Structure 1
Amino acid sequence: MQTPVVLIAFRRPDVTRRNLDVLRQVRPEQLFVVADGPRPGRPDEARQCEAVRELIDAIDWPVKVERKLAERNLGLEANVELGLDWVFSQVDRAIVLEDDCIPDPSFFRYADELLERYAADQRVWQIGGDTHLVPKEMFGGYSYGFSTWASVWGWATWADRWHSHRAEFNRDHAGAEDRVDEVPRTAPAQRTHVAVPHPDALVTEAARKHFTFVSTEPDGDRYGWDHHWWVTIMSRQGLSVMPCVNLVEHDGYGEGATHTRAAKNPEPALSLEFPLSHPPAVELNREIEGELELVLLRTDGRLSRFARRLIRPLWLRALVRRFIEIPIVWRVVRRLVGQ
């Protein structure tokens, strides 16, 4: 496979090994490794980071491995943004995997084909791999559909789109590796100009409120780099590609996870059938987009953030989540979070 792959890693050798097992099957010719370093005063974390790097050194298929290895901890935001800046200064497109995003091998062919198909179409910004369980029937029999936002749990994009985003969201994280305390201090989330979601980019009023708030929120620790990437896409009325089946298993829950520490079983990755069946037009599928917005608001909206502060035990959050996912309950919740 000629499309470069980016592996963003930190301190989890178990999921890194699983990811490398899949990469060994598809054998990309070029692999970029962006690995964060241990936080100060955590010898156990230093050992874990070293174990991850040993796995990279042990790669046994013919591949050119490029490494960006932080000696000290940058924090997730700086590691990802500076890492992708480094990658896209060298290649014009890439498939991006965080260490806990374990793809089905068909994900690579899907991403590779669509990166080529939409390379010159500036309306398309991202190729997504995780569906967040959007029902397959919403895709109308096609292999994928177009949404505005798409998960970054396994994704792909082009250098020109990434550079366009970073030109207006240009925090450089200066001094991130020089800090001496344990908790990363993320650079402010400030843009070179105000960029709010285009009125036609989103379907629900709740999502418009959510992303308008994100677009003007200066606290870099409040929302992740992915939210700010999505705001750029929304402000340009751009599109993302979403597969009709889940192609990436996100094994990022529980102990060892940086952010998603909920007690939740990952959704397994499935295989996509080829040849791909392409939608007849490059346009927003409002049904898919509406479902994705409700899923995002359920997990990361202001109401859900308040609920997480209120419900601390992970086991209790898991019970609440299973209750919410009961179809009749979810129909009620959808009406509430979509307001």
Structure 2
Amino acid sequence: MKHEIMIPESAVLLITFNRSDNTREVFRQIKQAKIKKLYVANDGPREGNENDVIEREKIKLLLQEIDWDCELHTLFQEKNLGCGWGPATAITWAFENEDRLVVLEDDCVPALAFFPFCNEMLERYKDDNRIWRISGRSCFPDADFFAGYDYIFTHYAPSWGWATWKRCWDHFDMNMLDITKYLQEGGAENYHFSTSQAAFSNYMLRQALNDKNLTSHIWDIQFAYLHMKNNGLGIVPKKNLIKNIGYIGTHFNKVHKYHLLDVSNEYRVVNHPSFVITNNKYDKYYFKHSIRKLTFIPYWLELFLRKMKIFVKRIK
């Protein structure tokens, strides 16, 4: 008789601020999934901003709608920490009691299939130090890259609905104190397979290094850096499992094509990849059709300087 493997249900962290309408959309899915353990973090109101105070109270009222068996933990900050320290502090707080965590921000509406997918991946790869993040967003669902598998391994695992382990987050450093040494030793050239991808990543890291206000508005570049310096991989599902409704906010001011992706509620994992290795074709395609088209920065200068450096060494 074949016994099914019991997969633990992971706690969910919902990160909120001042968008109660968006939060309600995400909360509706959490409620439907009857999440057993829920952490809700809310960044503090900005000084003198009455709307932030009103939105916070609406979110508090929303949590009173929990009518299922749910262990609720809340963190309502007194002061505003911003888009950098706010989410980072919330994740660190939730990991004080958890060894794994599913993370949703207030504009990432999950398909119901997102939760069992994360649970299965978190359990299956809990002891695999090669895996650092599980993403629910799939920008190119059903593409040929998946080749019969229900998910792939990649260097690009977006943070629009994601999951990770305490073993990973414990190494997180908002200030990236060792980034200068990392760049001096080649940086992303030791991580990516192509020179253009490495040039882009190194350019972004240098921009972050020179950004005096980095921690006030960014946390995900720091987590991406953590992936890179540990040669970490992410997991992306064959079907898209996250609908992003954050069209207007600190980092977006218009709708782009990834906001329009449908989600799959029927998705489940049947076919696992045969090998835990980077899907290089997916990485190249993602870089060319997502990052390079949506990011307007002169990162090619980084590529040019790298090639000049190689040329100078050869002629010496």
Q: TM-score, normalised to structure 1's length?
A: 0.77
Alignment partner for residue 125 of structure 2, among 95, 104, 118? 118
Letter in 1 for 2:177: R
* TM-fit CA distance, 1:136: 2.0
Q: Name the residue aligned to 1:11.
A: 18
Matched, 1:259 2:251: yes
Runs (5+) with no aligned partner, structure 2 = 1-7, 300-306, 308-316
* Higher RCO (CA < 8 A, seq sep 6+): 2
Letter in 2 for 1:299: L
Matched, 1:30 2:37: yes
> C-alpha separation between the residues in 2 aligned to 1:103 and 1:131?
12
Matches within 5 A, 1:137-156: 137-156=144-163
Matches within 5 A, 1:294-309: 294=288, 295-303=290-298
Give the conservation status (yes or no) of the 8 Å contact 1:149–1:240. Answer: yes
Matched, 1:195 2:182: yes
Matched, 1:244 2:243: no
Give the conservation status (yes or no) of the 8 Å contact 1:95–1:155. Answer: yes
> C-alpha separation between the residues in 2 aligned to 1:44 and 1:18?
19
Q: What are the superposed Cα offsets for residues 252-304 of structure 1, whole Å, 9 maximum, x if unpaired?
A: 103xx232121345322223533421000000000111122231232235159
Q: What are the superposed Cα offsets for residues 227-276 of structure 1, whole Å, 9 maximum, x if unpaired?
A: 2211211122110000111110011103xx23212134532222353342
Q: Name the residue aligned to 1:78.
A: 85
Letter in 2 for 1:263: V
Root-mean-square deviation over aligned CA pairs: 2.2
Matched, 1:213 2:203: yes
Q: What are the superposed Cα offsets for residues 196-226 of structure 1, whole Å, 9 maximum, x if unpaired?
A: 5453532442321222133342415457211
Letter in 2 for 1:215: L
Aligned to 1:195, the other structure's residue is in SS state: helix
Give the conservation status (yes or no) of the 8 Å contact 1:19–1:101. Answer: yes
Matches within 5 A, 1:99-114: 99-114=106-121
Q: Compared with structure 1, are the counterparts of its residues 7 and 199 closer, same or farther at alpha carbon in structure 2 (3 Å cutoff)?
A: same
* TM-fit CA distance, 1:32: 0.7
* TM-fit CA distance, 1:81: 0.9
> C-alpha separation between the residues in 1 aligned to 2:221 and 2:176?
13
Give the conservation status (yes or no) of the 8 Å contact 1:134–1:292. Answer: no
Q: Compared with structure 1, are the counterparts of its residues 48 and 144 closer, same or farther at alpha carbon in structure 2 (3 Å cutoff)?
A: same
Give the conservation status (yes or no) of the 8 Å contact 1:96–1:156. Answer: yes
> C-alpha separation between the residues in 2 aligned to 1:208 and 1:51?
44
* TM-fit CA distance, 1:76: 1.0
Letter in 1 for 2:25: R
What is the percent sequence identity of the aligned residues? 28
> C-alpha separation between the residues in 1 aligned to 2:218 and 2:266?
29
Give the conservation status (yes or no) of the 8 Å contact 2:188–2:202. Answer: no
Give the conservation status (yes or no) of the 8 Å contact 2:242–2:263. Answer: yes
* TM-fit CA distance, 1:65: 0.8
Number of residue pairs matched? Answer: 282
> C-alpha separation between the residues in 1 aligned to 2:117 and 2:67?
25
Q: Compared with structure 1, are the counterparts of its residues 49 and 110 closer, same or farther at alpha carbon in structure 2 (3 Å cutoff)?
A: same
Matches within 5 A, 1:166-177: 166=172, 169=173, 171=174
> C-alpha separation between the residues in 1 aligned to 2:18 and 2:234?
30
> C-alpha separation between the residues in 2 aligned to 1:110 and 1:240?
14
Q: Compared with structure 1, are the counterparts of its residues 85 and 301 closer, same or farther at alpha carbon in structure 2 (3 Å cutoff)?
A: farther
> C-alpha separation between the residues in 1 aligned to 2:182 and 2:39?
31
Q: TM-score, normalised to structure 2's length?
A: 0.83
Matches within 5 A, 1:305-316: none
Give the conservation status (yes or no) of the 8 Å contact 2:133–2:163. Answer: yes
Give the conservation status (yes or no) of the 8 Å contact 1:190–1:218. Answer: no
Aligned to 2:278, the other structure's residue is in SS state: coil
> C-alpha separation between the residues in 2 aligned to 1:60 and 1:221?
41
